[in-house]
Amino acid sequence: MTKDIATPSRTKAIMDKHQLSFKKSLGQNFILDANILRRMVEASGVTKEDGVIEVGPGIGALTEQFARRAKKVIAFEIDQRLLPVLDDTLSDYTNVDIYHQDILKANMQELFETTFSDTKDVVAAGNLPYYITTPILMAFLEKRLPIKTLTVMMQKEVGERLAAKPGTKAYGSLSIAAQYYAETEEVMTVPATVFMPRPHVDSTIICCRIRTQPPVQVEDEQLFFTVVRAAFAQRRKTLMNNLRHWIGKKGDQDALKAAFRYAGIEGGTRAEMLSLSEFAALTDGLLKEKVVPSLELS
């Protein structure tokens, strides 16, 4: 077996051979510990019958670990400089294809219908740069792509928000969105010392096991997420004050209070104290009381 890419010596050799420099604008940090990547692959639950979608393969360190365990790997790399590098580092693996494309602009439906037509399940994974973490996460979750798991390495602060519970400082609209679509688990903390170049903060690996059904039922899913975002608009304000501001002067204040009574929630509560089921009840109450019949919900 070829020596792992994720070692200090091999990474340096690859960088030197291809005269590579790190692109700060793309948040590039290459990991130097293959054991951590193997933990990530194991957490994804991938099998020899499965396909893999990887976001940002870099020089191929995680890609090769998946290639050893999966039937097929499709990796999306936006940095053109890395394409010849990946052709070189992954030349031993016939089950890997690199797409030079922004994954947020890719036709994912076509990918599943063609490329992954002969795989049992599909898992998604990636070492995500901070600036694009949330858009990529939500793109996978909101589009309800037919994936089994989404296993990502990200800045620790963002990872903690994904897995946060009500009543904690990290709990917010991102926590609710992630937990609505998936069961989230923190796999491990990844220290800054195992990256090149070394970032200023630690990272974490989060595994999102995609739900077949959300944990709560709501009459209007779009309204549910709009209410959640409005509730967390200003964390120091009470839930009632945030929603009053959201519905504006033309909103029916009495109907808003009635919606709170319907849901059994005190108006003086702060958003971070509410569970998914309480947000669902409040959303249904807002619909029942017709608090927001004409609001723009985009």
Full-model pTM: 0.91
Tally Cβ neighbours within 10 Å of residue 278: 17
- Contact between 188 and 153 (Cβ < 8 Å): no
Indicate the pLDDT class of residue 249, thresholds 50, 70 and 90: confident
Question: What digits encode the pLDDT tens for the residues 111-167?
Answer: 999 999 999 999 999 998 878 889 999 999 998 999 999 999 999 999 999 999 999
What's the token pair of residue 42?
């194991």
In the chain, ranges of CATH 3.40.50.150 domains: 8-210
- Mean pLDDT (whole number) for 56-79: 96
Question: What digits encode the pLDDT tens for the residues 4-34?
Answer: 999 999 999 999 999 987 665 555 688 999 9
Question: Under CATH, to which class is 8-210 assigned?
Answer: alpha beta
What's the token pair of residue 20?
């590579």
pLDDT for position 29: 82
pLDDT for position 25: 53
Torsion sign across C-alpha atoms 177, 181, 185, 188: negative
Q: What percent of the chain has pLDDT over 70?
A: 95
176 has binding-site annotation: no
How high is the mean pLDDT of the chain?
92
172 has binding-site annotation: no
Q: Is the model's pLDDT at 295 over the cut of 60? A: no
pLDDT for position 297: 44
**How big is the chain by its Cα radius of gyration, in Å?**
22
36 has binding-site annotation: no
Torsion sign across C-alpha atoms 261, 265, 270, 276: negative
Q: Which residues touch 213 (CB under 8 Å, ≥6 apart)?
A: none
In the chain, ranges of CATH 1.10.8.100 domains: 221-288
102 has binding-site annotation: yes
Q: Which amino acid would we find at residue 261?
A: R
> Which one, of 204, 224, 206, 205, lies nearest residue 214 by Cα?
224
What's the token pair of residue 61?
């360190």
pLDDT for position 298: 40
107 has binding-site annotation: no
Question: Under CATH, to which class is 221-288 assigned?
Answer: mainly alpha
127 has binding-site annotation: yes
- CA 212 to CA 269: how far, in whole Å? 31
